[in-house]
Structures are given as structure tokens and as C-alpha cells.
Amino acid sequence: MESFGARLHRAVTERGPLCVGIDPHPGLLARWGLPDDVTGLDRFARTVVEALGDRVAVIKPQSAFFERFGSRGVEILESTIRQLRASGSLVLLDVKRGDIGSTVAAYAAAYLDPSSPLYVDAVTASPYLGVGSLAPMFELAAAQGGGVFVLALTSNPEGAAVQRARAADGRTVAQTVIDEISQLNAGAEPLGSFGLVVGATIGDTGHDLSAVNGPLLAPGLGAQGATPADLRVVFGSSLPAVLPSYSREVLGAGPDVAALRAAADRALAGCRAALAAG
């Protein structure tokens, strides 16, 4: 099976370096004139798929905004995933799961096993029970051509207390995550399947990302305050591996399909220019 890294490299080459979230929070549903219920959720998700599914490289549904409606919300998430995959976009499910033993193996099966109704191309994961605790997720992803994006340097101010704390060997916790993911990607071509989440708002990281050889998901663009120009500061020589991620900046243009497409095109143009300048 073709690796996620290879599929992502091709998708970005063909469609451009852009990830757009599907984040149907109450305020955004209201802005679209939709009710904060499963009918509004379904209409929102279907509109995003119609507007962007056949033109954006990666679409990132935020699972929590579907889960809050219970089983009917999860059913809509499953349908959205199927629609996105049929449209040709890669699906990155933002779940930030992290656990140990049989539990993390069950999470892996839920999202990375092709027989699951929630099967996606890649997921986000939390390493704070130890990167090694995610081994079942990495193993299933490798076997099934999936990807995992692991939190490393996030843009929320609370994250620094953990991520920039220093281990006994002097490395920060974030650097240990970076180093272990780099080892998983060693020798992969054209791109490894295991990525990192590094916020676009954090400025100069003071960390070495050059050896990761995998995708670097950069949330925080647009409504959270970062601009494409900030990518050069955060990622430096690692810019070719960056996957910029927008949510509200693009989604706020809805519910008009043409307006959503135009917003995504503007975001992509800005990212192309910034990444090329690097």
C-alpha cells in the first residue's frame, strides 16, 4: 500500500500546500444561519465538502464538534469522511488521542483500519504519555498506509510548561518528540508518514526540525493570528515540509460555496508565496 507520506506529497504537488479544517462550533453555525443541532451540522459539513473537497489537498474535521451531538453527530462525521475521500482530498481527523496499551491500539483501529467506518488517511495524536505509548498507532499506520501527526510545539500558551520543560539529558520535551518522530521517518521518500504539529503563532521555536523528514502541520493561521509570513520565522529551512492549516479564516466565508472557494484560494496563494520565499 502506498504510504501516507507519498500520497500527501502528491496531493500537495497537485492541489497546493493547504489544509482546511471543518470546525462546526456553535458560533460558526450561527454565522452561517444554521441551527446548533444535527441538521445544522450536516448542512455545514456537506457545504464544506461541496466547496473544497475536490480542490484542497487536506481537509481536517475536528472530531469534538461532531461528537458533541452524540451518536448522530458521529454518524455525520462518518458520512463526511466518506464524502471527502470520494472527492479526492486526504482526510486528517483531528482527535488528539493518546493512551497506552490496548486502548491506544483501539484508537488506532478506530481511525487507521480500513474496515472502520471512521477510517481516515491520518490522525493527530498526543505524546504526553510518552511517544513510545503511541507505538500501536504508528505500527498500524505504517501497515495500512496511514499517517500520524504528533503534538510537538503547540500555539496555546499553556503548552509551553510541558513542551519546553527539560528532560534529564537537557533536551526539551518537544525536542524529544521531534527526535523520536525523526527516527520513525528515517530513509522515507519522498516524505515520511509521521508528522508533527507546530503552531504557526509561536515565532522562533529554538528547536531543530531539520531532520524530521515528515510533514509539519502548522495550525494557527488566520483567525488565531498567524500570517503566511510567520511560517518563515517558525520553520526556517524546514519550509518545504510545512502544511499550513486554516479553519475559521476560510470557513467564515460560508455558507456560499463560491465564497468558500475564493477564501481557500486566497489562503493557498498566500501560503504558496510564503513557502516559495523561504
Q: Catalytic residue positions?
A: 96
Q: Characterise 130 by phi-psi region: left (phi > 0), alpha (psi -120 to 50), beta (else).
A: left
State the virtual CA torsion across 91, 97, 99, 100 in degrees, nearest 10. Answer: 10
Cβ contacts of 180 within 8 Å, gap of 6 or more:
131, 132
Q: What is the CA radius of gyration of the chain?
A: 18
Secondary structure of residue 97 in the 3-state scheme: strand
Q: Please answer whether residues 77 and 63 qualify as being in contact, where contact means their C-beta atoms are separated by less than 8 angstroms.
A: yes
Sequence-distant (6+) residues with CB within 8 A of 121 are: 4, 7, 8, 85, 90, 91, 92, 146, 147
CA 124 from centre of chain: 6
Q: How far apart are CA 220 and CA 174, in angstroms?
A: 18
- Residue 77 in contact with residue 66, Cβ under 8 Å? yes
Q: Which of 65, 92, 86 is nearest to 244 (CA)?
A: 92
